[in-house]
Amino acid sequence: MKPHAAIILAAGLSRRMERFKPLLSVGGKTFIDHLISTFLSNDTEVYVVVGYHGEELREATKDRNVVIVDNPDYKLGMFTSVQAGVHALSSGYDAFFVMPVDIPLIRPATIKSLLATSRQYAGRIIYPVFRKKRGHPPLIPMDLAQTIIGWKKDGNLREVLNSLESLSMEVSVPDSNILLDIDTADDYRLLVERIQSGMES
C-alpha cells in the first residue's frame, strides 16, 4: 500500500454544466484522466467516487489503476461522496487528498509539494495556497477520517475542516489551477480557450 490516497469526487449531477463533467475533455484528456494521472504520478492511490452516470465512469476508468466507490446517496450532495470515499479508504494510509473532479488541472508538482510538507508535519491539514487564497486539494491526516465519517451537523467538508483550523498549515504553490473550478458551460469554454492559447497556468 502507498502511504497516501486521493479521493476524487465524481458522483455529482453536473446541473450547471448540463454535461457530465468527469468526461469533459481538455488538452486531449478527460477531467478524470487528468486527475488520476496527476495523483498516480505521485505514488498516491486513487479512489473515484461515482454516482450519476456511474457505469459510464466505470467504463471510462476500467484500464486505470483506481478503486471505484459507489455513492448511492449522491443526490443528497457532495458531502455524501466525501464520506463515502473516506469510509472506503483502507487502513494504513498516513493522509488523503479530497479532490472535486471539476478542478482538473492541478499540477503534479503541487501534489508533490503537499506530500513533502505532510511528511515533515505529520498530523496537519495541508492546504495549497495561490496568492493567499486556499485551493484544492487539502491533504488530510488519516487520524481525522472518523471525524469526517461521523459528522452529523449541517454543512460540508469545509465546515468539518474549519472546526479543526488549529491543525491547518498552508503551502504556497505557483499553481493558479488550484483555484480553477469548472462549474458552467462558460467556465468550460474559457478553459478550452485558455489551454489552446497555451495559458494553462
At residue 11, what are phi and psi to the nearest 5 degrees?
-100, -5
Q: Considering the domain boundaries, does residue 17 fall inside one?
A: yes
Q: Considering the domain boundaries, does residue 38 fall inside one?
A: yes
Going through the chain in order, the beta strands assigned E by DSSP cover 4-9, 25-26, 29-30, 45-50, 66-70, 95-100, 125-130, 133-134, 139-141, 168-172
Q: Considering the domain boundaries, does residue 65 fall inside one?
A: yes
Structural domain that includes position 147 = 4-196
Q: Considering the domain boundaries, does residue 90 fall inside one?
A: yes
pLDDT tens-digit profile of 66-92? 999 999 999 999 999 999 999 999 889
pLDDT tens-digit profile of 132-184? 999 999 999 999 999 999 998 777 999 999 999 999 999 999 999 999 999 88
Q: Considering the domain boundaries, does residue 147 fall inside one?
A: yes
What's the structural domain count of the chain?
1
Q: Considering the domain boundaries, does residue 201 fall inside one?
A: no
| CATH code: domain of residue 134 | 3.90.550.10
pTM, to two decimals: 0.94
Q: Which three cell numbers stand for residue 65?
A: 489503476
Provide the H-helix boundaries in 30-143.
31-40, 54-60, 78-88, 108-120
* CA distances (Å), origin 133, targets 35, 128, 177, 201: 21, 8, 12, 15
